[in-house]
Structure formats: C-alpha cells, structure tokens
Amino acid sequence: MISKNKLGKVSLFVVSSYCCSVSRSGKRKVTLIGTHLDLVDSVTHINAPQEVILPRNSSSQNLTYETPAAKNTDFSSSVVFLKVANQTLTCRTEIAYYPDPEFTSFTAVREGEAVRIVVQKKVDNLEMKTAELKVVGIQNEKEYPCILKSKESSNKTETFICEIEGLHNADFEEVKVSYGGTSVTLNKSSSLSLLILLVILLIPIIIIGVLVFYQRQQKQLTVKMNRLMEDLELDIRNDIRQDRLWKSNKTSADFVVIKYSPLDSVALANTLRYCRADDCLWKKETQD
C-alpha cells in the first residue's frame, strides 16, 4: 500500500499494514508500516466515516490503531483514510472485514498443580493470535484468569490452550472469552449440546457404514458359495467320468481263461470257463 502527499518538504508514505483482516465487531489492532507516520492525527474507515480513531501508538515508521465496528454489513472491506494536518490521505490497501469468530466449546482438566482449559473455535480468515484473547474461568461465581500458552490449528478447528496456576478444582461452570471489545461466554451445556449433536450426526453415518459392510459381506459370501458349488459340481463330474472310464477299461480287458478239470476222466471234453467283465461264460471245447 502506498499513499503519498506533499506536506511542505515532507512526503508521507504508507507501504504496508500488519493485520489486514478484522471482525465486524471491530476493536482489532492494526499496525500501519511506512515513513513519517508520526504526522498522522487520526484514522477513519469508509464504512464508519463519522468515527474518528486516534492512534494508540505512533512513530516515524509505525502507527497502531483499533479498527471501528462495521456499521454496514454490506461492506466486505474498508478503505482507510489518514488525517494529516488539514488534509486527508487515502490508503490504497483495504482492510477486509469478516464475521466475528465463533467459539464453540471448552474443556477443563487438572494437570499437576494447575488447571488446563482448552477452548475450541471454528476456523476462519481472522488468524487470531493468543495475544488477542483473554480467557477467564468462572467457578462458584468467582473469576480465575487463564494464562494463554499456545494455539493449535486443524482443518476445521482452532484450539487455544491456557492454564490457571495453583487451582486444583477443574469443575468450571463457564468460561468467558474476550477479544477486542466483545466477550463470549461458553458453558457446560453448550459443550454437552455440541457433544450430543455430534453423536446424533454420527448415528446415521454408523448405520450406513454397517449396512454397507453387511451388503459387502453378503456379496462375498454369495461369491464363495457359488465357487463352492461350482467346485462341488466339477468334482462330481470328474468322479462320474472316472467311474465310466474304469468300467470301460474292465470291459475291454483280455479274457481270463480258467481251465476246469471235471472228475470224470473218461470224458473227452474239457470245459473252459471264460470270464469277461461281470459275466462268466462257460464254453465247451471238444478234443479229438
């Protein structure tokens, strides 16, 4: 972002801004970086032209101020104006406005001599830092400041972790989260409701998964039974084929000749028995 205007022999340059996305509720600190910024008297936004913002901190190279709330939700971004003496300069880089952060639930557990509180927040475009938040645990109507330690991010949630030193009871009814000029209160019921909602949403998914698994198992069982029946039918056919072949070999075998000698030695005839397959044929041969 570059804005330039002649102020006597001094030129004012604003080359960039730190933190260019803010929530609609405002009160987020924005730092402009440039040169001769100590000459700026006030800052205004196009979405709140009547609100004059005085710099919180300023130097030749930095100017920090708190953004105003978005008076008109039709604006998704705002142009920044810098008031210098009796002139107004326009910054070319706009400040983007997004919906306020949505904190969903909290958990509190005891760890040694401290209580650890984990606050869940939906992912958004604000990219909030731990220094921008203030977390307070409420127990028996008494507030316990929670010192923010770290932030963790995933695809859908941002997790802010803080600790309360010297407290052994982790049973908190509420947790208050403050940012800018806004505060959000989370309670056990909201956490429980979120858990119940997740369970309700998971039930259809589990049922669908079970049905898909059952159908897949049924298909696999049907394929196995078909293969088993095919193998059994093939074995039966092979047995029948082998049995027929065995009978055919017996039928085509050579005759087995057994010589039969009768008791009557006077008879001129010898009787020979021929056996073939399952029949026994008796055949009489006459000797000369």
Look at residue 206 and tell me if it is in a domain. Answer: no
pLDDT computed for residue 35 by the predictor? 83
Look at residue 158 and tell me if it is in a domain. Answer: yes
Assess contact for 152 and 161: CB atoms under 8 A: yes
Look at residue 247 and tell me if it is in a domain. Answer: no
Look at residue 214 and tell me if it is in a domain. Answer: no
pLDDT computed for residue 56 by the predictor? 83
Look at residue 20 and tell me if it is in a domain. Answer: yes
Q: How many residues does the structure list for the chain?
A: 288
**Per residue of the chain (288 residues), what is the pLDDT tens digit?**
434 444 444 455 555 555 678 888 888 988 888 888 888 899 988 888 778 888 888 888 888 999 988 877 666 888 888 888 888 888 877 888 999 999 999 999 998 889 999 999 999 999 899 999 999 999 988 999 999 999 999 888 999 999 999 888 888 989 999 998 899 999 876 555 666 777 788 888 888 888 888 888 888 888 888 888 888 888 888 778 777 766 666 555 444 444 444 444 444 344 444 444 444 444 444 444
Phi first, then psi, for residue 263 (nearest 5°) are -70, -25
Contacts of 285 (CB under 8 A, 6+ apart): 269, 270, 271, 272
pLDDT computed for residue 60 by the predictor? 84
Residue whose structure tokens are 């298909």? 219
Q: Look at residues 193, 209, 235 and tell me which one is the last residue of a structural domain.
A: 193
What is the residue range of 15's domain? Answer: 6-98
Look at residue 198 and tell me if it is in a domain. Answer: no
Residue whose structure tokens are 């397959």? 277
Tally the domains of the chain: 3
| Same domain? 86 vs 108 | no
Phi first, then psi, for residue 216 (nearest 5°) are -65, -40
Q: Look at residues 74, 98, 122 and tell me which one is the last residue of a structural domain.
A: 98
DSSP labels, 68-80: PP-S-TT-SEE-E
Look at residue 13 and tell me if it is in a domain. Answer: yes
Look at residue 176 and tell me if it is in a domain. Answer: yes
pLDDT computed for residue 100 by the predictor? 92
| Same domain? 32 vs 73 | yes
Please give the single-letter amino acid code of residue 27: K
pLDDT computed for residue 280 by the predictor? 44
Q: Look at residues 193, 225, 245 and tell me which one is the last residue of a structural domain.
A: 193
pLDDT computed for residue 103 by the predictor? 94
Provide the CATH number for the domain around residue 160.
2.60.40.10
Please give the single-letter amino acid code of residue 165: E
